[in-house]
Homo-oligomer: A and B are copies of this chain.
Amino acid sequence: MTIVLKLGGSVVTEKDVPETVDEDRLASLAAAVAGVDESLVIVHGGGSFGHHHAAKYDVSVSEGTADPVAAREIHDAMIRLNQAVVGSLAAQNVPALPVQPLSMCARDGNGALTLEHSAIERQLSEGFVPVLHGDVIAHEGEGVSVLSGDELVVRLANQLAAERVGVCSSVPGVLDETGTVIDRIDDGDGLEHVLGESDATDVSGGMAGKVAALLELDVPASIFAPTAIEAFLGGETPGTTVGGGQAGP
């Protein structure tokens, strides 16, 4: 079985403080991950590393930059965060290896994503845990644009035929108007009013963007808080279950 696990940028960083890792939380997530026997791919978001730099240069999923200084600044910030995440996993004896989307992803002129996953597949079959991240990637006619962690999760899960997808977020799931976790979301209809903005700079669209992306998955995804990561990794479906063609009767 293959699991794709997203660690939200707001989970692994202090999202409002530039380039600050939440070391304690990262260590506790890494400890939970260390107990997993299945094939595992980890994706982390940008948090206070990528988003500030991307916003500075007005770079998003669709609007790119041809400026190599901007491209490197955003990418390098994400590499620093990736090194912290891989380091934290390594400290818990997780056989983590860093994988950079800039090296194996690209967009065409319509924004369609190509993701080449042979290296990841081989790392998994050799027992390693590839650790990817939101990044900038080359985009036809745009220079580079942003690849969000959520888009990455969806494409990886679909291409690797992952059985389970988990999104560890700063909230316990998608919340309704009363602040209650919505158990299941099968499509985006009528949910606009509950899908508010993210609480800090987020070039990838906040919760609305996250749910829209996850609805493209072949299997359901669970959105849950860090306290529920062991439940998720143990086979439960904490928080909100999104998409995967699991619509009720």
Asked if A100 is at the interface of the complex by the 8 Å CB criterion, the answer is yes
Copies of this chain assembled into the complex: 2
A68 contacts which chain B residues (CB < 8 A)?
Answer: 90, 95-97, 128
**A116 adjacent to B138 (CB under 8 Å):** no
**B126 adjacent to A66 (CB under 8 Å):** yes
Asked if A119 is at the interface of the complex by the 8 Å CB criterion, the answer is yes
**A104 adjacent to B104 (CB under 8 Å):** yes
Q: Tell me which residues from 61 to 107 in chain A have a Cβ below 8 Å from any Cβ of chain B.
A: 66, 68-69, 71-72, 75, 86, 90, 95-107
How many angstroms from the CA of A64 to the CA of B144 in the assembled complex? 35
Q: Given A104-B103, A104-B116, is A98 in contact with B75 using a C-beta cutoff of 8 Å? A: yes
Chain A interfacial positions (CB closer than 8 Å to B) = 66, 68-69, 71-72, 75, 86, 90, 95-107, 114, 116, 118-119, 121-123, 125-128, 137-144
